Structure 1
Amino acid sequence: MDEPDAVRGPGTPEAGDRAGAGAGAGRDAEREFAEHRGLLHAVAYRVLGSVTEAEDVVQDAWLRWSRVDVAAVADTEGYLVRVATRLAIDRLRSARVRRESYVGPWLPEPMITSPDVAENAVLAESVSTAMLLVLEALSPMERAVFVLSEVFGYSHAETARFVGRGDVAVRQIAHRARKAVEAGRRRYDADQATRRRVTERFLAACDGGDLNALMEVLAPDVTMTSDGGGLTGAPRKVIRTREHVARAVAVLSRRRPYGSHSRVLQVNGGPGIVVHAGRTPLLAITLHLRDGMVAAVHVVSNPEKLTGVAP
């Protein structure tokens, strides 16, 4: 990959100089940006754990790109990934401060993902709510380096240019990040067919109000974490054990508004449940399995965090 900073002249976003914009007319700036938009969002989302923040990063990256002499950019992907990564790191630093006063447990914003993500084990795990929670333990720089190198396969030299650090420093950061992730991650079932079958059984038990059927799919030591942000009636503490989680899920099911409907969709790299009232998403549930049973339940009902599962 070419040097992402390889731009000739003063028309870089940092210089804020629009004078060279016309020189790039031979290349379609909008088309080139559109080709990389999905990658930029994927990187930013994994660094931030927020759909809305990732979309803001992509928008800011576009604003910077629109001021660049694109004809002078030798490597569009490298340039845009560098810009998006640094924007995401800055946003994560300020987001961490806001999350300290968050009401109740904080969970990543759920997001509808394509079947292609589910077919790639690395991508599917990297976008799962379980992994995104593990990444919360990393510093913003460690998280960005881990995402770029371990998820998207950029070399240490490329990652170093993206984050503005030296090669040796990035290797050390990557090593620390890998150790922290390995220490914090829990191994969950990855088979998509099994996950979908259990998710459908879980949903059928909820819809039918069958507490016994629900308990049959829950592991004895299952946990349930709910994120309502203080805006809904979500429990503000983690619920533990099969009996308590089953009762909490049953209560949650009974509280669904009349006329709402639930569906199994691809959420964060695997089967998840999204409940809608009309076109308004009410909550999203992701299940994490161990030995074919539900070991962890993540429920997001904060309406400000459901844009990624809106139809």
Structure 2
Amino acid sequence: MTDVFEEHRRLLFGTAYRMLGSVADAEDIVQDAWITWNRADRTDVEHPKAYLVRTVTNLSLNRLKSAQAVRESYVGPWLPEPLLTSPDVAEEAELADTVSMAVLVVLETLTPTERAVFMLREVFGYSYAEIAEVVGKSGASVRQSAHRAREHVQARRPRFTADAGEQREIAEKFREACTGGDLGAVLELLAPDVVSWSDGGGIVTAARRPLHGHDNVARWWLGVLAKPEVRDGEMRVAEINGEPGLLLVHSGVTVGALTFEAVDGRITALRIAVNPQKLRGIQD
């Protein structure tokens, strides 16, 4: 019983994390799933993996619905919690790109039911009838939700991003430019229409609205990095949500996590999480 659950633990965490965008909540869901599995009559469970994924999805769906009010009153932009991943994340879970920060941000714009339907259909290939049983909707309703969610995600997910090697090179160049305080070098790396989001949750100082344009973004970034609590630390390249990103580390504690999107060698989107409550999944 324990061996079966442990075999799928990482997959279950990944499922809950994709649904919720929260490391702490995903860990709670996996624990709740273990309790459910431990108490269940498993004599009729032919496919434990499918059963456990359904359980985690259902628990996550309930959690996501109850979390909507909290997110609506959140101070400033709400970003999913960053997660440190290994370079071989593609071998660890189905559709590894669905754990990227860019795609998680898109998933946040779906309704809880659409998010569950999208994950079960697109990631795990569940039939509409199986999904209907999980979300408590009719087959026709599930088909409509799946169609809406698929079109929504496809229209908003990044289409022309740099590969891992290019992204790591850009991360290194951005780190060098920022730590050197080189405004010209930072501007050179940013696309003219770049957008930057920062998530401080009202706990630490962060921009309350997205910043637009390479000049605004570059000057804001260099201003942040000039602050004593950041200036005396360091920036490290790390694998964050399956892609190269940057960690801001001060006195051995990670105080920020940066992910980005790049097209043709230039950064088009920057996302920085500095809310300490959201950095638990990246303390290494």
User: Which bracket does the TM-score occupy, shorter chain normalised?
Assistant: over 0.9
Please tell me whether residue 134 in structure 1 is matched to residue 106 in structure 2.
yes
Please tell me whether residue 160 in structure 1 is matched to residue 132 in structure 2.
yes
* Partner residue of 1:65 out of 24, 34, 37: 37
Contact 2:224/2:230 (<8 A) preserved: no
* Partner residue of 1:80 out of 52, 67, 74: 52
What amino acid is the match of 1:90? Answer: N
Where does residue 259 of structure 2 map in the other structure? 286
Where does residue 271 of structure 1 map in the other structure? 244
Separation in structure 1 between the aligned mates of residue 45 and residue 158 of structure 2, nearest angstrom: 42
For residue 172 of structure 1, report the CA deviation from its aligned partner.
2.1
Give CA deviations for 1:233-252 in whole Å, capped at 9, x if unaligned. 11111111011100011012
Q: Extract unaligned runs of 5+ from structure 1.
A: 1-28
Give CA deviations for 1:209-247 in whole Å, capped at 9, x if unaligned. 111111111000001100000011111111110111000
Give CA deviations for 1:165-199 in whole Å, capped at 9, x if unaligned. 44433222211111222233342414111111111
Where does residue 298 of structure 1 map in the other structure? 271
SS at match of 2:185: helix
Separation in structure 2 between the aligned mates of residue 79 and residue 278 of structure 1, nearest angstrom: 44
Contact 2:230/2:248 (<8 A) preserved: no
Where does residue 55 of structure 1 map in the other structure? 27
**1:11-26 equivalent positions in 2, closer than 5 A:** none
Q: Extract unaligned runs of 5+ from structure 2.
A: none
SS at match of 1:66: helix
For residue 72 of structure 1, report the CA deviation from its aligned partner.
4.5
SS at match of 2:207: coil
Give CA deviations for 1:284-311 in whole Å, capped at 9, x if unaligned. 0001112221000000000000011111
Contact 1:121/1:190 (<8 A) preserved: no
Please tell me whether residue 202 in structure 1 is matched to residue 151 in structure 2.
no
For residue 71 of structure 1, report the CA deviation from its aligned partner.
4.5
Separation in structure 2 between the aligned mates of residue 171 and residue 303 of structure 1, nearest angstrom: 39
For residue 158 of structure 1, report the CA deviation from its aligned partner.
3.7
Contact 1:43/1:148 (<8 A) preserved: no
What amino acid is the match of 1:160? Answer: A
Contact 1:117/1:123 (<8 A) preserved: no
What amino acid is the match of 1:35? Answer: E
Contact 1:199/1:272 (<8 A) preserved: yes
What amino acid is the match of 2:17? Answer: Y
Please tell me whether residue 148 in structure 1 is matched to residue 113 in structure 2.
no
Separation in structure 2 between the aligned mates of residue 252 and residue 155 of structure 1, nearest angstrom: 48
Structure 1 vs Structure 2 CA RMSD: 2.0
Identity across the alignment (%): 49
What amino acid is the match of 2:109? Answer: A
For residue 119 of structure 1, report the CA deviation from its aligned partner.
7.1
Separation in structure 2 between the aligned mates of residue 119 and residue 206 of structure 1, nearest angstrom: 33
Where does residue 102 of structure 1 map in the other structure? 74
Give CA deviations for 1:254-302 in whole Å, capped at 9, x if unaligned. 1244652321111012001112224422000001112221000000000
* Partner residue of 1:43 out of 7, 15, 29: 15
CA 1:136–1:45 in 2, change beyond 3 Å: closer, same or farther? same
What amino acid is the match of 1:284? Answer: A
Aligned length: 283
CA 1:74–1:91 in 2, change beyond 3 Å: closer, same or farther? same
What amino acid is the match of 1:249? Answer: W
TM-score normalised according to structure 2 size:
0.93
Please tell me whether residue 242 in structure 1 is matched to residue 214 in structure 2.
yes
TM-score normalised according to structure 1 size:
0.85
For residue 118 of structure 1, report the CA deviation from its aligned partner.
5.0
| More displaced stretch, 192-201 vs 117-126 | 117-126
| More displaced stretch, 152-161 vs 85-94 | 152-161
CA 1:121–1:87 in 2, change beyond 3 Å: closer, same or farther? closer
